[in-house]
Amino acid sequence: MRVLGSSRILRADIGAEATIEELVRLGRPPLVWTLDGRRRIAFRTVTDIVPGGKKEAFSLRLASGRQLTIDAQQALMTLAGWTPLSRVAVGDRVAVPRRVPEPIGTQPMVDAELILLAHMIGDGSCVRNQPIRYASIDEENLRAVASAAQHFGVSAKRDDYAAARVTTLRLPAPYRLTHGVRNPIAAWLDKLGLFGKRSYEKFVPPDVFSTPNDQVALFLRHLWATDGCITWDSRYGLANIYYASTSRRLVDDVRQLLARLSISTRLYRVGQGEYRDAWHLRIFGVDNQRRFLHVVGAQGLKYFAAREVLCNLGSVKGNENVDTVPREVWHQVRKALSDKRMTHRAFAEAMGTKFSGSAMWKRSPSRGRLHRAAAILDDAALHDLTNNDVFWDRVVELTPEGEQDVYAMTVSGAECVVVQGVFVGTAQGDGATRSTTRVEPTQTNKSLSRTSSACRDSR
């Protein structure tokens, strides 16, 4: 397969993403996540990476907010099979991971380090030539940071600013600083690559991705206590759960960690006038939100908001249509009906729905609905579609990016790898299959459809 040098590949051995250049410098064969024949997550070994020259590249944006730039002939997974990007259009649905397993070899961190790291990423300041500081209005968060700092031998110094309604903790070194001797927290953050980073430059260090899932949840709980939001909108009867940051890389990292806990997200760009745009990573769907509150939970003042939200969600029925299978799957259902000599009316009755003629085939079925159909038809292939590790995301924009440097990567026994949150085929897509049924873009996507057409014309 050909991958851009800047593309981030999800590693199965450490749980973090790495660019091709980083994999080349690694000096040993890394493990990556792929899909097996039943579209379940599995791991395989990268056996070779060599320069591949320059190729025409296109940027792909999905409804979930995922963004990927790949070679125009690289293949993406559609319901029909592997399809080259040159034959993908706005409105098509492509496969992304619905969950990510723990890395093959987990490496736990000290809880105090995870807690301090989460708070420093969110509300900490560690710029050069300035004291290390943490600011918050939440007493529980202040206590958590002060306690975690003791792991480094640091005693937090408290400064209250009544006018600003905020408290700052200074985290000074426990000894006199001289040439070559640093504050232990500063040295630790520097080792993780975060020292001196501004808010829009921050990210989650690779060490966090190597931790087991219970520590991932701990890290996210404390990170959410800083720039996260958990509220109940009584006017509309819905929960607002999101994480906000001006760092695109940080929210992409948080999304990857949430996928470890089987929690799906959508990313939105939010303009802030003359200030730097922010990114909001939202937990969507009632079932997803409940899972977040149960598995990740909440810290500090947000704990009480989370209890209120969870209580209110108890009476809300989840929308099955949050997670659907592309509507082309009805072709397989109709074929199975024909093979079993079952009428469409009889099928509708067995499904417990009113017979509506051809209208029943026009919408994408939820996994639950397709599962019922698979059981009625005793169809193993349909059943696999309801129990795999794939989420079907929708293409909303395609943009030409010109020629870019690519690498040829060989992965033993794998048909795909995860590139920036999207399954990308390991074989070139020239001969990939293609569904004969076209997914028409919605009214809101017509301008994007024209963009897509222009992309195809430019080829």
pLDDT confidence band for 142 (50 / 70 / 90): very high
Distance between CA atoms of 373 and 382, rounded to whole angstroms?
8
The predicted pLDDT at position 384 comes to: 93
Determine contact, residues 447/98, Cβ cutoff 8 Å.
no
pLDDT at 362: 87
Answer yes or no: are the C-beta atoms of 423 and 95 closer than 8 Å.
yes
Q: Give the helix/strand (H/E) hosting 76.
A: strand 74-78
Q: What average pLDDT score do residues 134-162 get?
A: 95
Q: Does domain 328-387 have CATH number 1.10.260?
A: yes
Which 3 state secondary structure label does DSSP give 10?
strand
User: Is the pLDDT confidence value at 213 over 80?
Assistant: yes
Q: Which residues of 235-244 are buried (b: 16+ CB within 10 A; e: fewer)?
A: eeebbbbbbb
Identify the three-state secondary structure at position 187: helix
pLDDT for res 428? 63
Nearest to 224 by CA among 66, 115, 110, 142: 115
How far are the Cα atoms of 58, 164, 205, 302 from residue 308, in angstroms, in the given order?
44, 28, 32, 10
How far apart are alpha carbons 78 and 223 in whole angstroms?
35
Average pLDDT over residues 380-391: 94
- C-alpha 72/C-alpha 185 separation (Å) is 45
Q: Which amino acid is at 173?
A: A
Question: pLDDT: is 158 or 26 the higher one?
Answer: 158
Region 126-151: what's the mean pLDDT?
A: 94
Fold of domain 111-205: Endonuclease I-creI (3.10.28)
Residue 409 · residue 26 · CB < 8 Å: no
| Nearest alpha-carbon partner for 97 in 260, 279, 269, 220 | 260
Domain positions in the chain: 2-59+67-105+390-425, 111-205, 213-314, 328-387
Among 11, 85, 12, which residue's Cα sits nearest to residue 434? Answer: 85
Q: What's the confidence (pLDDT) of residue 360? A: 81
Q: Do domains 2-59+67-105+390-425 and 213-314 have the same CATH topology?
A: no
Per residue in 278-309, pLDDT (tens digit) is: 999 999 999 999 999 999 999 999 999 999 99
Per-residue pLDDT, 128: 83
In this model, does residue 449 exceed pLDDT 50? no
Q: Is the pLDDT of residue 444 over 90?
A: no
* Alpha-carbon torsion, ordered 62, 68, 70, 75, to 10 deg: -40
Number of neighbours of residue 309 by Cβ within 10 angstroms: 24
Contact 35, 389 (CB under 8 A): yes
| pLDDT (average), residues 328-356 | 91
**Six token digits for residue 257:** 């960690």
Structure confidence at residue 254 as a pLDDT band (50, 70, 90): very high
Tokens of 49: 């990476």
User: CA-to-CA distance for 16 and 419, rounded, in angstroms?
Assistant: 12
Greatest distance between any 2 Cα atoms in the chain: 85
| Per-residue pLDDT at 110 | 98
pLDDT (average), residues 381-402: 95
C-alpha to C-alpha distance for 132 and 125, rounded to whole angstroms:
6
> What confidence tens digit (pLDDT) does each residue in 87-99 have?
999 999 999 999 9
Q: Please check whether residue 403 is in contact with residue 56, taking contact to mean a CB–CB distance below 8 angstroms.
A: yes
d(CA 315, CA 7): 43
DSSP string over 255-316: HHHHHHTT--EEEEEEEETTEEEEEEEEE-SHHHHHHHHHHT---TTHHHHHHHHHHHHTTP
Could you tell me the two tokens for 410? Answer: 């060989």
Is pLDDT above 60 for 437?
no
User: In this model, does residue 431 exceed pLDDT 70?
Assistant: no
Stretch 258-271: mean pLDDT: 96
Which CATH number is 2-59+67-105+390-425's, of 2.60.40.2140, 3.60.15.10, 3.30.9.10, 2.170.16.10?
2.170.16.10
Query: 33: phi > 0 → left, psi -120 to 50 → alpha, else beta; which?
Result: beta
* 166 DSSP β-pair partners: 161
- Inform me whether the pLDDT recorded for 150 exceeds 90: yes
Average pLDDT in the 32-48 region?
A: 94
pLDDT averaged over every residue in the chain: 90
**The pair of three-digit structure tokens given for residue 111, joined into one six-digit string:** 């809880």
Of the candidates 118, 173, 113, which has an alpha carbon nearest to the alpha carbon of residue 141? Answer: 118
The CA distance from 256 to 250, in Å, is 10
What is the predicted pLDDT for the residue at 426? 87
CB-count exposure of residue 404 (10 Å: 0-12, 13-18, 19+) = middle
Q: How far apart are CA 432 and CA 454, in angstroms?
A: 22
Share of the chain above pLDDT 70, in %: 93
**CA atoms of 291 and 289, how far apart (whole Å):** 5
In the structure, what pLDDT confidence band is assigned to residue 273 with cuts at 50, 70 and 90?
confident
Report the distance separating Cα 21 and Cα 18, nearest Å.
Answer: 8
CATH superfamily label, 213-314: Homing endonucleases (3.10.28.10)
